[in-house]
Amino acid sequence: MSRNPLIITCSPVGAEVMKKDNPAVPYTPAEIAREAIAAVQAGASIVHLHAREEDGSPSQRTALFAEAIRLIRQEVDVIIQISTGGAVTATPDERLQPVRELDPAPEMASLTLGTVNFGNDVFWNPPDLIETFAKEFQERGIKPELEIFEAGMMTTAQRLVKKGLLTGPLHLDFVLGVPGAMAGTPSNLMYLVSQLPQDATWTVAGIGAAELKLGAMAIALGGHVRVGFEDNVFYRKGEPATGNAQLVARIARLAAELDRPVATAEEARALLKMPQRSLA
C-alpha cells in the first residue's frame, strides 16, 4: 500500500437535490449505478448510497438499493455505504429498511449522531433512535460512518463507545455547511479534527462551495474526502458539474499533487480496519 492513500467517498445523489438543480442528478437505480461506477473509475473507493423513486422522490425501498448495488458490483469493487439518514420525512423503520433487508448486509452505513436543523426542516436523531440504529449495525457487522453535523455529536460518539454500542477505530464524516448546522469553514474543520478520538479516521463533506475548500484541507491534513451531488452540484460557481466523476477526478488530481494517491477499495478497507470481502 502506498504511504497515505486518500479515500474518496462519492455520494452521487442524496434525498434533496433534484434534476432541476442539475440534469445529471441520477434517480433510477440504473442512473445511480452509472454515476457511481464512473465515480469509482475516477478514484472513489466508497459510494454513499441513497435511492429515489422514478419521479425523483427520496425512498428507502430495499429493492431500489439492491438493484443499484447489483449493477455497481457487476462493474467495480467499491465499499457500499447505505444511507440511514434518508430524507427528513422518513420514519426510523423506513430509514433502517435497507440495513435490515439487504442480503448480504452492506459493508458500511451512515449513522448521524444527533438531531440537527436542516434548512427549514429538522433531521430527527434522538438518543434512543441512535442507539437502536447502532445495535442494528452491530448485529450485522456493518461499519458505521458517523455523521457529525455539530460539535456536540463528537461527545455522543464517545458516549456510545463507553456503552459498547460503537467499537473503535471510529470513522467520522464531518458534514459542514448544512443551513442551520455547523458552517463549512476552515476553523470549524480544524476544531473538529482537534477533538478526534484516538485512532479515528475522518472524512469531510463540505456542502456547496465548501466541498472543494474543505476537501483540499482534508488532503493536506491527512484526512479523507467526500464529494458528490448529494452535497454539491457545481464544478465552480455558476457551472453545473457534468457528473459526479468530474468532482471525484478533481479531488484525485489535487491529491496526486500532494502525494496522496487515491485508495482502492481494498486499501480503503485496510485503512478503515474493515474485513476484506469481495461481494462481487
Q: Which of residues 124-153 bind ligand KMH (CB under 6 A)?
A: 147
Asked if residue 87 binds ligand KMH (CB under 6 A), the reply is yes
Q: Please choose, out of 18-26, 80-88, 185-193, 259-267, the segment that lies near ligand KMH by the rule CB under 6 A.
A: 80-88
How far apart (Å, rounded) are the C-alpha atoms in residues 273 and 266? 11
Handedness of CA 234, 236, 242, 246 (dihedral sign): negative
CB of 15 to Zn ion, least distance (A): 7
Q: Does residue number 83 form part of the binding site for Zn ion (CB under 5 A)?
A: yes
Q: Does 59 bind Zn ion (CB under 5 A)?
A: no
CB 7 within 8 A of CB 219: no
Cβ-based nearer residue to Zn ion, 11 or 156: 11
CB of 56 to Zn ion, least distance (A): 16
Is the Cβ–Cβ distance between 62 and 98 less than 8 Å? yes
88 binds ligand KMH, rule: CB under 6 A: yes
Cβ-based neighbour number of residue 126 at 10 Å:
10
Closest contact distance (angstroms) between CB of 82 and ligand KMH is 9
DSSP assignment, residue 181? Answer: S
- Nine-digit cell at 101? 433487508
C-alpha cell at 64: 431500489
Residue 110 lies near ligand KMH (rule: CB under 6 A): yes
CA angle in degrees (0–180, nearest 5) for 42-48-52:
110
Q: Please give the Cα distance from 76 to 174 (Å, whole number).
A: 27
Partner whose footprint covers residue 88, from ligand KMH, Zn ion, none (CB < 5 to 8 Å by kind)? ligand KMH
Write down the residue that cell numbers 422518513 correspond to. 90
Q: What is the dihedral of CA 17, 18, 21, 26, to 10 degrees?
A: 100
- The answer to whether 14 contacts ligand KMH (rule: CB under 6 A) is yes
Q: Shortest distance, CB of residue 230 to Zn ion, whole angstroms?
A: 5
Closer CB to ligand KMH, residue 118 or residue 229?
Answer: 118
Question: Residue 123 interacts with ligand KMH (CB under 6 A)?
Answer: yes
Contact predicate 266/280, CB 8 Å: no
Instruction: Report 12-31 residues binding Zn ion (CB under 5 A).
Output: 14
Q: How far is the CB of 49 from ligand KMH (least distance, A)?
A: 9
Shortest reach from residue 256's CB to Zn ion, in Å:
27
With a CB cutoff of 8 Å and minimum separation 6, the contacts of 68 are 29, 32, 33, 36, 49, 51
Q: Which is nearer to ligand KMH, 181 or 255 (CB)?
A: 181
User: Among the candidate windows 83-91, 124-132, 134-142, 255-263, which touches ligand KMH by CB under 6 A?
Assistant: 83-91
How many residues bind Zn ion (CB under 5 A)? The answer is 3
Is it true that the peptide bond before 104 is cis, omega within 30 degrees of 0?
yes
Instruction: Give me the residues that bind ligand KMH (CB under 6 A), please.
Output: 14-15, 83-85, 87-88, 110, 112, 118, 123, 147
Kindly list the residues in this chain that would bind Zn ion in the complex (CB under 5 A).
14, 83, 85
